[in-house]
Amino acid sequence: MIAYNSEWLDAIKLKDTAKSWHENGLLDTEKWEALKSQKPSGFYSPNIFIRIGLGIFCLILMNAAMGLLALTGIIDSEAGMSAFGIICAVIWITLLEIWIIGSLHHYGSGIDDMMLYTATITMIGCFYINFPYDAGPLSYCWVAWPFLVLGSIRYIDRLMAAAAYGCTLLIVLFTVAKIPDVALYLLPFSGMVFSAGAWILARKGQQRSALRHWHDLFIMVELLSLLSFYASGNYWVVQQVGLGWKELPVPPMGLFFWAFTFGVPVLYILGGLRLKERLLLDIGIAAVAVSIFTFRFYHHVLPLAWACTIIGAFIFVAAYFSINYLRKHKGAFTYDAGDEKVLLQEIEEQLIEQLIAAPTGKPEPPKEGFGGGDFGGGGAGGEY
């Protein structure tokens, strides 16, 4: 089912989890060392910067190779173009499967990512070329859908999962839009229902140990479902769709959508704090900002400069007092930095670690991601 060696994937994840136990003093050093040597993983997962570089150069290389192939004169007709697309996709997928993953054991190296994306794009593209001119958007989505879903399942790639989610959502929306008479009324609600369903499935999927390899993909789907749920009922989105499609200046049930625009962010934030769910909380905070923009789009209550100043001051003061409060009251919430890392934090840490730890010549403990493949193919460091 998965292209990568699943035992090694398990080993990486296990060592990641055990590392936080070890750092919190729940696992003695002896056990931790034993665990590290017992669970080897032979992936090639370089540091994030090497990954970016490899990705860029792999992309240029593949384009040059496809350019050379195109020069052989294969693309002289529409059928030739399609054949060209299929040939390229097959070549890239075969190389990826047999060589890059099969014998070189790349995992998140930049090369495997780019090969997968290029193969998918050429594959889908070869179908699009032969499409009749009157083909509706729905058929475009249906053609892309199986490749995106299969790609994300087999190569556990988050970007593919995101594309697959977007594609599925579009299929639902375009299908609903075809229903006569009531389509406009159903659209926001179908978006909401679909997102809510996806959210529940993604949450369930994250807890199933049989689906542990796709854990990160479920997180991606959860994130997107929260976004699309809010977007489905946001007043601005609803109003613009109504205006552009049916020329309705004011959408029906405007009051409901206003309530939704302001209610959902609050629900997200409260839910995030209650469930201790970071995604809900963060998206809730972002959604509050979007709601404010939505409101200002229709009602010019304050000049922009005043709004910026007042909101900025308010946010600053609110954050100031929250931090103060959290530092004085120990409880379920804390201001101390947690051990979960976000992408930016990871990059910053790597940057600082490399430039500050090395010159001082201090005996730094070998960190994950530093040597790239010291163990676990970089573990947490190689994840992004």
Q: Which residues from 36-55 bind other proteins, rule CB under 8 A?
A: 44, 46-50, 52-54
Residue 143: CB atoms within 10 Å: 16
Task: Copy the structure tokens of residue 258.
Answer: 């206003």
CB of 155 to other proteins, least distance (A): 19
Q: Tell me: does residue 306 bind other proteins (CB under 8 A).
A: yes
Q: State which residue, 57 or 189, has the beta carbon closest to other proteins.
A: 57
Q: Tell me: does residue 313 bind other proteins (CB under 8 A).
A: yes
Query: Could you say which DSSP state residue 377 is in?
Result: G
Task: Copy the structure tokens of residue 343.
Answer: 């992408």
- For residue 332, the Cα-to-chain-centroid distance in whole angstroms is 28
Tell me the window of 26-34, 182-190, 247-255, 292-300 that interacts with other proteins (CB under 8 A): 26-34
Chain positions 52 to 81 lying near other proteins, rule: CB under 8 A, are 52-54, 56-58, 60-61, 63-65, 67-68, 71
Angle at the Cα of 84 (from 80 to 86), degrees rounded to 5? 120
Out of 315, 349, 375, 379, the only residue in the binding site for other proteins (CB under 8 A) is 315
For other proteins (CB under 8 A), the number of binding residues is 97
Q: State which residue, 78 or 348, has the beta carbon closest to other proteins.
A: 348
Out of 94, 130, 207, 240, the only residue in the binding site for other proteins (CB under 8 A) is 207
CB of 223 to other proteins, least distance (A): 15
CA 333/CA 322 separation, integer angstroms: 11
**Alpha-carbon distances of 365 from 98, 361, 382, rounded to whole Å:** 36, 12, 17
Chain positions 334 to 353 lying near other proteins, rule: CB under 8 A, are 334-338, 340, 342, 345, 350-352
Under a CB-based contact definition with an 8 Å cutoff, are residues 91 and 115 in contact? no
Q: Tell me: does residue 200 bind other proteins (CB under 8 A).
A: no
CB of 177 to other proteins, least distance (A): 37
CB of 18 to other proteins, least distance (A): 6
State which amino acid sits at residue 69: L
Q: Tell me: does residue 301 bind other proteins (CB under 8 A).
A: no
CA 291/CA 308 separation, integer angstroms: 15
Q: Tell me: does residue 305 bind other proteins (CB under 8 A).
A: yes
CA 376/CA 13 separation, integer angstroms: 8
Q: What residues pair up with 106 in beta bridges, in sequence order?
A: 44
